[in-house]
Amino acid sequence: MTESSKRLYFTMVFALVCYVIGSGFVQSFVNYPTWKLIGPDEFKTYHNGMSPLIIKFMVLPWLVEIALTISLLWLLPQAIPRRAVAAALMLNAVSAISTVMVQIPIQIQLGDSGLSVELLDKLLETDSIRVAASILKAFLYLWMMSLIVRDSGSTTGDSAYISRLEGGT
């Protein structure tokens, strides 16, 4: 894969990361806090109706993002250090562990028993782990993208890559 193709690939992964982080922030800062406004009689129906949509529009894109981030270990543009991708994967692991060990059990309880202010407060409190990991991942990807942008305007970008292909130094 050419350096230009690797940059384009990274840009597509970057866009997906922005989508995943943005949708997570909507869930954390808009959706979860307003659940207390839903009546107890309607909450269970709302929650159970929303859950498949969360899987379709948040969880599946996140899993694709993780797979594509793993692939960056082999398709990494020259400007980005491999340790940055490893850090992104570690932040995804933090979010995944929190999701599986804490958030999903709470969500299952909310889906089974309906609205519980105590469970909702616990969900909001523990969601801060995922929010912190997402914020760090956002800054990490912005930094990686800045390396791509900075490198594309320098002599170490495509022109240097093409020069090396043509036998230059």
Provide the percentage of residues in the chain whose pLDDT is more than 90.
88
Q: Which range (10-19, 84-93, 110-119) has the least confidence?
A: 110-119
Predicted local confidence at residue 93, as pLDDT: 99
Q: Please, what's the b/e burial string for 36-63 (b: 16 or more CB within 10 A of its CB; e: otherwise)?
A: eeeeeeebbeebeeeeeeeeeebeeebe
pTM: 0.87
What proportion of the chain, given as a percentage, has pLDDT over 70? Answer: 90
pLDDT of 151:
85
Rg (CA), the chain: 20
When pLDDT is averaged across residues 8-14 and rounded to a whole number, the result is: 98
Model confidence at 137: pLDDT above 70: yes
The torsion angle over the Cα atoms of residues 123, 124, 128 and 131, rounded to 10 degrees, is: 100
- Residue 152 pLDDT level (bands cut at 50, 70, 90): confident
Q: State how many domains the chain has.
A: 1
Q: What is the pLDDT of residue 29?
A: 97
Mean pLDDT, the chain, integer:
93
Q: Please give the residue range of the domain that contains residue 38.
A: 3-165
Q: What span, in angstroms and rounded, lies between the C-alpha atoms of 62 and 45? A: 25
Predicted confidence (pLDDT) per residue in 88-107, tens digit: 999 999 999 999 999 999 99
Cβ–Cβ < 8 Å for 65, 17: yes
Query: DSSP states of the chain as a string?
Result: --HHHHHHHHHHHHHHHHHHHHHHHHIIIIIHHHGGGS-HHHHHHHHHHHHHHHIIIIIHHHHHHHHHHHHHTTS--TTS-HHHHHHHHHHHHHHHHHIIIIIHHHHHHHHHH---HHHHHHHHHHHHHHHHHHHHHHHHHHHHHHHHHHHHTSTTSHHHHHHHHTT--
Name which of 6-10, 19-23, 39-43, 66-70 the model is least confident about: 39-43
How much is the pLDDT for 14?
99
Task: Read off the pLDDT of each residue in 38-58 and give the average, rounded to a whole number.
Answer: 95
